[in-house]
Structure 1
Amino acid sequence: MENKTARLTLLIAPNKKKALEHLCASQDLTPSQVVRQLIRNYLKQHGVEYETELVKKTTAVHPD
């Protein structure tokens, strides 16, 4: 997951929000996880590339 996040606020009908929450709970997912996946799929479908932040692991090298 990316280290920095940005907030996306959207409006949704209360009945749709409740249905989404119930479905997500039944699949052991959060609504945020589902929305992030939808966004990734939408960007991929339209050929939009974006940078992702990778966690870099550094290995200390000790001189012999």
Structure 2
Amino acid sequence: MEEKPARLTVLIDADRKKAFEALCASQDITASQVVRQLIREYLTRHGVRWSPGSADTAAD
């Protein structure tokens, strides 16, 4: 069974958001794609095992 995506709300200052979105656009990637990649890298760096649809997120 496929899970629905969950929303993550992040508050940042307007100028930083504008610069981030402009950089993403210049690289033909969405801000959401970049944030998802950063989250995957952060989980991996901290030893959190994760796979789509898996509830197993225990750190080693």
Name the TM-score class by shorter chain.
0.7 to 0.9
Two-structure CA RMSD over aligned residues (Å): 1.4
TM value normalised by structure 1: 0.75
TM value normalised by structure 2: 0.79
| Structure 1 unaligned residues grouped into runs of 5+ | 54-64
Counting aligned pairs with the same residue, the percent is: 63
Which is bigger in relative contact order (C-alpha 8 A, separation at least 6)? 1
Deviation at 1:51, TM superposition (A): 2.5
Rg comparison, structure with higher value = 1
| 1:37 aligned partner | 37
Runs of 4+, deviation exceeding 2 Å: none
The number of equivalent residue pairs is 52
